Amino acid sequence: MQARRRLAFAAVLAASALAGFGLAGCGSVGYLAQSVRGHFSLLNDARPVPQWIDAAETPDKLRERLVLSQRIRDYAVSELKLPDNGSYRRYADLHRPAAVWNIVAAPELSLELKTWCFPVVGCVGYRGYFDKAKADELAEALRAEGYEVAVYGVPAYSTLGWFDDPLLNTFIHYPEGELARLIFHELAHQVAYAKGDTTFNESFATAVERLGGWRWLGTHASAQAREEYVRFDARRQEFRALTLGYRARLQTLYRSRVAPDEMRRRKAELFGQLRADYETMKRERWNGYAGYDGWFTRANNASLGVLAAYNELVPGFERLFAAEGRDFARFYDAVKRLAELPKEERRRALQPPQSAAGAKMEHTGSVAETSQQSSEAKP
């Protein structure tokens, strides 16, 4: 969910295009202006990592994490063939818990997310704000229109290579495996981007973060870091299995021909069962860990709808990686070719062979789901 995610820079690119062509309406100008101000404020706060490492006032824990981040960044280039540029070579403390706050919205009886469209990047199923109060303001307006809404903090976002994205306090203290995965995910957005296709873009980045993350943990992380990550990831896997299972049941309900009142009654039952199953899971398998409490308290069509964008096409990308000989450079070239195709052709190319329909994904979890957990409590 990044949800966890992250392409709020869509607004920044849109702002540049609209300013250049004078196409923005009065309502759009304020939103786009806050995007530009927020992004450049973030960039201005960033300083080269070596300066932070050498500064006497830098806390030892932060210094250690910054050193680790540069090892991960070097690995991204040498082993995963991700872009070698200035991204994640600078660090900024924003003195807030999120880089931006995203708003997603869905109708009362649908999981289809509302979209907003911008020049350059196309249509996306979220709207991002650097100011949480502004995000909450839009959320209230959408609720007044009858939408179910979710507002969630995003730890990082990608500028698609237009700027050097910095490391941030919002994620620098993630468990080692998650820090690696987040950096790999965001760098993957610089490799390939399909205009107006959030699911393609996020699923590709999620596939890269998983493939690279497991490699990093297996070859470069300490035994302690691997053990820490196993505990962290086990909860996320169970979160994902539970929520996507109920998402599928709700999708079936919403696509049925049940009368609206009966559909509302069944919907309420399903959400009640979802929360009850979570409480059982937390009590019986998680030792009472409450990091997801906030998510389940606020769960609705919007929060369930956004989960699919980060996972739906991941199995297809993992099959493509295997088909390209598990060679990252060849894999990226193949993904770039897919990004140039019409959306429906991309979908067909990433569908499983008939015999593999229903096969389980090799790995689970994504940075989007990490942001859900981390926004509530860090393990």
For 294-322, write each residue's pLDDT tens digit.
999 999 999 999 887 777 899 999 999 99
User: Looking at residues 25-53, what average pLDDT do you find?
Assistant: 81
Rounded CA-CA distance 32/303 in Å is 24
CA dist 296 and 150 (Å) reads 12
The predicted structure's pLDDT at residue 29: 63
Nearest to 207 by CA among 312, 327, 131: 312
pTM, entire model = 0.83
Question: Mean pLDDT over residues 6-35, rounded?
Answer: 50
Least trusted range by pLDDT, from 40-54, 83-97, 122-136, 344-358: 344-358
Judged by phi (left if over 0) then psi (alpha if -120 to 50, else beta), residue 146 lies in: left
CB atoms within 10 A of CB 286: 17
Q: How many CA atoms lie within 13 A of 252 on its CB side?
A: 8
Mean pLDDT of 262-291: 97
Residues 108-148 have pLDDT tens digits of: 999 999 998 876 667 888 898 999 999 999 999 999 999 99
Higher-confidence residue: 128 or 13?
128
Here the tokens at position 329 are 């450079």
pLDDT at residue 21 is higher than 50: no
Residue type, 69: S
Q: Are 338 and 346 in contact (CB under 8 A)?
A: yes
pLDDT band per the 50, 70, 90 thresholds, residue 161: confident
The percent of residues above 70 in pLDDT, for the chain, comes to: 84
